[in-house]
Amino acid sequence: MRRVAEKVYAYVQPDGSWWINNCGFLDAGDHTVLIDTCSTEKRTLALLSKVTATTGSPITKLVNTHHHGDHTNGNYLATGAVVIGHRKTRELVLATGISHYEGVFTGSDWGHLEVRPPELVFDDRLTLHAGDFTIELIHPGHAAHTTNDVMAWLPEQRVLFAGDLVFNGGSPFALMGSIAGSRAALQVIRELEPLTIVPGHGPVCGPEQLASLDAYLAFVQRLAERGKESGLTPLQLAKEADLGEFAALSEVERLPANLRRAYSELDGEPWGAEMDLRAAVLDMVAYNGEPIRCFS
């Protein structure tokens, strides 16, 4: 747990790899606002225990930054809170349900999980007032990490809970959104001029982290252009690619999945268009050479 402003906290789960996300919370006096839950029952119970011990007040609002299970699986355990999220977050949590991705990830202990989507939804922006806090919930206006990303922006504290629009130390992941849209979302973040960013995964950072994320996404776009010209599949291209400076990132196996999305955009498909997610996940496993280790 890290205090990032007066009565504002980041809940950072090392090492930030697959399924190990960050959350946040605000102590609004007589109640608490929570941002995201965790992938497993055990991790979410630990989160809720820490939050209530810190603030001493009930959690009455829970904001989801997008639909992925590492940010929403534990929603059902925040029993006294109304869950708030993008309209598509609700749709996709209900459509996807709880998925354990058998044969893809190893080492996971999910515990008992129940589906609970957002109950209060919005499309573009929603402003929450909690005690002395103003919390602006912002959809970037297009697909990026997913089609339903939401940032929680505290304009007075200049703190941004970015969800998975920002990874710190890990490879960005745009399979369910857009490579170009992810780059455009980084510009939306720049224009907010945050002092502190709580990423969806990895250590708390500042806006200087955005440049390296944008560089990786631009690298994927350039690589995809060369791969398409050479007639290579995304997996073939990923296997022969030189990652260079990006080899130091964790989750490098996301490259073939990101290339699938980049290929889709080169073919003129809309940002966030549906694609064969199973095939993309199997590409990542093939690139990795074995099921992907997960410590959730």
For the stretch 72-103, pLDDT in tens is 999 999 999 999 999 999 999 999 999 878 78
Condensed to tens digits (0 to 9), the pLDDT of residues 188-210 reads 999 999 999 999 999 999 999 99
Host H or E run for residue 23 = strand 23-27
pLDDT digits (tens, 9 = 90+) for 31-87: 999 999 999 999 999 999 999 999 999 999 999 999 999 999 999 999 999 999 999
The topology (CATH level 3) of 2-207 is Metallo-beta-lactamase; Chain A (3.60.15)
User: How far is C-alpha 51 from the geometric centre of its chain's CA atoms?
Assistant: 20
Whether residue 170 contacts residue 202, with contact meaning beta carbons closer than 8 Å, is answered with yes
Distance CA 32, CA 7 (A): 10
Cis bond upstream, residue 15 (ω within 30): yes
pLDDT value of residue 131: 96
pLDDT of residue 99: 84
Measure the CA–CA gap between 228 and 231, rounded to whole angstroms: 5
- 196 has which bridge partners? 159
Strand-pair category, 159-167 with 151-154: antiparallel
Overall residue count recorded for the chain in this entry: 296
Give me the pLDDT at residue 294, please: 84
What's the token pair of residue 1? 């747990």
Please tell me the predicted confidence (pLDDT) of residue 144: 98
Residue type present at position 156 = E
Residue 8 has pLDDT above 80, yes or no: yes
Q: Mean pLDDT in the chain?
A: 97
Domain borders along the chain are 2-207, 215-293
Which pLDDT does position 23 carry in this prediction? 98
Model pLDDT for residues 124-178, shown as the tens digit of each residue: 999 999 999 999 999 999 999 999 999 999 999 999 999 999 999 999 999 999 9
How confident is the model at residue 295, as a pLDDT? 79
User: Which residue(s) pair with 23 in the sheet?
Assistant: 11
Q: How far is CA 19 from CA 22, 169, 183, 191, 203, in A?
A: 10, 15, 23, 29, 15
Question: pLDDT grade, residue 296 (50/70/90)?
Answer: confident
For helices 255-266 and 179-192, what crossing angle results, to 10°? Answer: 100
Which pTM was predicted? 0.97
- Pick from 62, 165, 77, 66: nearest CA to 120: 62
